[in-house]
């Protein structure tokens, strides 16, 4: 989803003490369509919300989707952000290898923001959630044992230079550092990849199902809390949404 302006929000619309996901005024944005790599596409046989999800599993382990010539919007610089979604890890996938949920592939060493299921590049196995800069730095991370054959919500957030990780209703204990002040590269006619760190690579692939992928240019969860209310419905586009894909019937980002 594209074109969301960074706007002020009213404290009256979201209480600072809430454990629920913060939202702002509804918005309408432009759309982009991703292309499937190695047969990646949506499936209607499995979903958390709506009619489908992104299948990065069937008929191969190196599936991903991409949008080429991507110029944003997408979190960059040192500002706030939240990237979140739902993951369904098949038991057969195992946890020995890492996977990358989404990354700004500005270049192989360009420093675009990425989210990894792993401690670092090919390090620690799947049972982590971490932040990295493409080809430049492995940053903060948190350990979490992902359930098998079940949908699980996750989120990675930066709020006022503080990184936080969230999964299955809890804020996770964080390790590592420097992501709070890291200056991520802006997309500039680059590739945005979901499901791998490299659209042509065969390692660090998710090999899982994804649903409700949402990228926001501000924070969503109150990081003074140790728990949060797991979302109970599909996400909607608001004024701090950069991109949202439901994967219900296409690989196209949501307009509203």
pLDDT in tens, 150-175: 999 999 999 999 999 999 999 999 99
The DSSP secondary structure of 84-126, one letter per residue, reads EEEEEB-GGG-SSS-EEEEEEESSTTS--EEEEESSBTTBS-S
What's 186-250 look like in SS3?
A: CCCCEEEEECCCCCCCCCCCCCCEEEEEEEECCCCCCCCCCECCCCCCCCCCECCEEEEECCCCC
Average pLDDT of span 191-215: 90
Q: Is residue 11 part of a domain?
A: no
Residue 183's nearest CA partner among 214, 161, 166 is 161
Q: Is residue 190 part of a domain?
A: yes
Average pLDDT of span 47-64: 91
Express as a percent the part of the chain with pLDDT over 70: 91
Q: Is residue 2 part of a domain?
A: no
Whether the link from the prior residue into 196 is cis, omega within 30° of 0, is no
Distance separating alpha carbons of residues 205 and 224, to the nearest angstrom: 32
Question: Per the structure block, which two tokens stand in for 177?
Answer: 């550092």
pLDDT at 198 over 80: no
pLDDT at 100 over 80: yes
**How many other CB atoms are found less than 10 A from the CB of residue 94?**
12
Residues linked to residue 51 through DSSP beta bridges, in sequence order: none
pLDDT at 71: 86
Distance separating alpha carbons of residues 208 and 204, to the nearest angstrom: 12
Q: Is residue 16 part of a domain?
A: no
Distance separating alpha carbons of residues 165 and 157, to the nearest angstrom: 6
pLDDT at 110: 83
Which domain range does residue 75 map to?
Answer: 32-245
pLDDT at 80 over 90: yes
Q: Tell me, what CATH number does 193's domain have?
A: 2.60.120.200
The SS3 call for residue 179 is helix
pLDDT in tens, 230-247: 999 999 999 999 999 999
Q: Is residue 254 part of a domain?
A: no
Average pLDDT of span 45-59: 94
Q: What band does 62 get if pLDDT is binned at 50, 70 and 90?
A: confident
Distance separating alpha carbons of residues 201 and 59, to the nearest angstrom: 16
pLDDT in tens, 120-156: 999 999 999 999 999 999 999 999 999 999 999 999 9
Least confident of 72-76, 161-165, 208-212: 72-76
pLDDT at 192: 93
Q: Is residue 25 part of a domain?
A: no
Q: Is residue 49 part of a domain?
A: yes
**How many other CB atoms are found less than 10 A from the CB of residue 105?**
22
pLDDT at 6 over 50: no
CA 50 to chain centre: 18
Question: For residue 152, what is the enclosing H or E element?
Answer: strand 151-159
pLDDT at 181 over 90: yes
pLDDT at 9: 43
Q: Is residue 5 part of a domain?
A: no
pLDDT at 199: 67
pLDDT at 17: 58
Number of structural domains found in the chain: 1
Stated pTM of the model:
0.92
């Amino acid at each position: 989803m594209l074109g969301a302006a960074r706007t002020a929000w009213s404290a009256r619309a979201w209480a600072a003490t809430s454990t629920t996901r913060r939202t702002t005024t509804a918005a309408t944005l432009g759309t982009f369509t991703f292309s499937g790599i190695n047969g990646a596409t949506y499936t209607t046989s499995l979903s958390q919300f709506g009619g489908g999800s992104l299948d990065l599993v069937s008929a191969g382990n190196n599936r991903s989707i991409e949008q080429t010539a991507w110029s944003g919007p997408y979190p960059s610089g040192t500002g706030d952000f939240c990237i979140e979604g739902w993951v369904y890890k098949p038991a057969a996938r195992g946890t020995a290898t890492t996977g990358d949920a989404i990354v700004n592939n500005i270049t192989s060493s360009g420093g675009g923001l990425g989210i990894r299921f792993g401690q670092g590049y090919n390090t620690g196995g799947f049972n982590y959630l971490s932040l990295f800069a493409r080809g430049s730095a492995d940053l903060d991370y948190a350990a979490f044992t992902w359930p098998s054959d079940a949908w699980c919500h996750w989120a990675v957030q930066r709020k006022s230079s503080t990184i936080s990780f969230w999964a299955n209703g809890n804020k996770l204990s964080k390790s590592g550092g420097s992501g709070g002040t890291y200056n991520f590269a802006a997309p500039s006619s680059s590739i945005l990849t979901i499901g791998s760190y490299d659209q042509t690579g065969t390692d660090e692939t998710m090999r899982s199902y994804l649903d409700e992928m949402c990228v926001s240019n501000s924070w969503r969860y109150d990081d003074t809390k140790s728990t949060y209310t797991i979302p109970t419905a599909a996400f909607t586009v608001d004024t701090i949404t950069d991109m949202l894909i439901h994967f219900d019937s296409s690989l196209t980002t949501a307009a509203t």
